Structure 1
């Protein structure tokens, strides 16, 4: 039994040594970039690389050979290659750049692959609310026209209530609860997060101080009635004075 354990340990140390010497695994790494910006595929090789070939699927992206760099369309004038580390940088990203990339070199064993996801600039969320069945329903969503990997977008809330601890697009508040005045919702993807806020009092127009509102309306109506009565009284006095002056003159 001890013999097999020693064999396994020896094999483990052998794999570790291979990795340290620049042997690269075949696992694919996710990389995210934003349209019109840049992204870097990091190799960080520990051995000198005399020749490097980067490919997008089966198409060549860049080639380093005899100390010269050659870029292929549509990446001409849009890439930078570090011949020491093997890192590749793509500038001015477009949605068509999204794909699987891999690097090959005779100085290393195997290939290093990357899955590139190109995202549009994330807009700020637009929180909306409605009052239904005695509760305030608050919805946090970005524009429905944003179609750049919506499956990567997550939503979160910021407020002292228990409801805000759950990541979801929709939360509820009961009127009898001590609800906060303002809450924030955040939309985020692997690269960016955007936050907006909403005032909950605007979700229930009838909420606040209805008794004061009714008293104000009643007071306003009373003032109008008093003004009308005064005007009628004044007009009546003027009429009486005119009649009195006519009687005196006769």
Structure 2
């Protein structure tokens, strides 16, 4: 008896695992769409079908439905925000909200299989925040996203843009909650500009800073004085050398 129960439990566990894998496979087959809060999106089945009846659902709830013998009818919370292309089957949603995110499905007797979509709603991207510190004549720059932007941060890609070799590389995701990456510049013109670009599937934003803003004004003046002194020394050396060469030439007539 105990053995029979164990066998049944094992069989049930196998069936459950199979069901989970099947559901995971189905979800992986969903078409992915992205939209932005307050923006618009069109879910397009891309089918050449002569539709006679269409029902769009979000989860188990109806979004909109239409039949050849009745007009398009939408349901809350989409009422007034959706339109249906009865020829192509496209669902158009306007004034998107974060609650619109989820799985959508189009059903129709004209289709052999229902088609599913997953809609991800992104918040409008903020401008990245740049700040820097000076460490042993190297400039360390940090690119951060405001903490208030917390949804779908993993969708963001980052890129440094500047005339130095470390730039031009993209990063997906954030290595730490605040810090994107470190950019070390051992030498270079402090008038150069460095940009941090962030983007997702819907938009991009850029912030920039000039390297001179990372160096204290006292240190900038010191560096300027050193450059001037170096130039003066070079000029003095050249003048002295020319005078010395002139004297030797005058004391050794040909």
TM-score normalised by L of structure 1: 0.70
Match of 1:201 in 2: 212
Measured in 2, the distance between the counterparts of 1:82 and 1:160 equals 49
Structure 1 residue 51 and structure 2 residue 44: aligned? Answer: no
Q: What do the CA deviations read for 1:172-205 (whole angstroms, capped 9, x no partner)?
A: 2333355661111111111100011101111121
Question: Partners in 2 of 1:179 and 1:93 — Cα distance?
Answer: 44
Structure 2 Cα separation of the partners of residues 179 and 48 of structure 1 = 64
Hey, what does 2:164 align to over in structure 1? 161
Structure 1 residue 139 and structure 2 residue 142: aligned?
yes
Corresponding residue for residue 105 of structure 1: 108
Number of equivalent positions: 189
Q: Where does 1:73-152 land on structure 2 (aligned, <5 Å)?
A: 73-152=76-155
Cα distance change of structure 1 residues 116 and 203 upon mapping to structure 2, 3 Å threshold: same
CA contact (8 A) 2:194 2:210 kept: yes
Could you tell me which residue of structure 2 aligns to residue 189 of structure 1? 200
Unmatched segments (≥5 aa) in structure 2: 1-27, 172-179, 227-254
Highest CA radius of gyration, 1 or 2? 1
How big is each residue's C-alpha offset from its partner over 1:60-102, in whole Å with a ceiling of 9 and x where there is no partner?
A: 1111112411111111111100010000011111111111001
* Partner residue, 1:5: none
SS at match of 2:166: helix
Distance 1:212 1:127, change over 3 A: closer
Q: Which residue of 2 aligns with 1:245?
A: none
> Greater shift after overlay, 159-168 or 192-201?
159-168
**Structure 1 unpaired stretches of 5+:** 1-25, 215-250
Distance change >3 Å, CA 175–CA 192, structure 1 → 2: same
Instruction: Tell me, in whole angstroms, the C-alpha distance in 1 between the residues paired with 2:191 and 2:126.
Output: 25
- CA displacement, residues 111-165 of structure 1 (integer Å, 9 cap, x when unaligned): 1111111111111111111112442111112211111211111110111211112
Distance 1:211 1:174 in 2: 16
2:186 counterpart (175, 192, 195): 175
1:37 corresponds in structure 2 to 39
- 2:32, 2:119 within 8 Å by CA — same for their partners in 1? yes
> Residues of 2 paired with 1:213 and 1:177: CA distance?
17
Moved over 3 A (4+): 174-180, 211-214
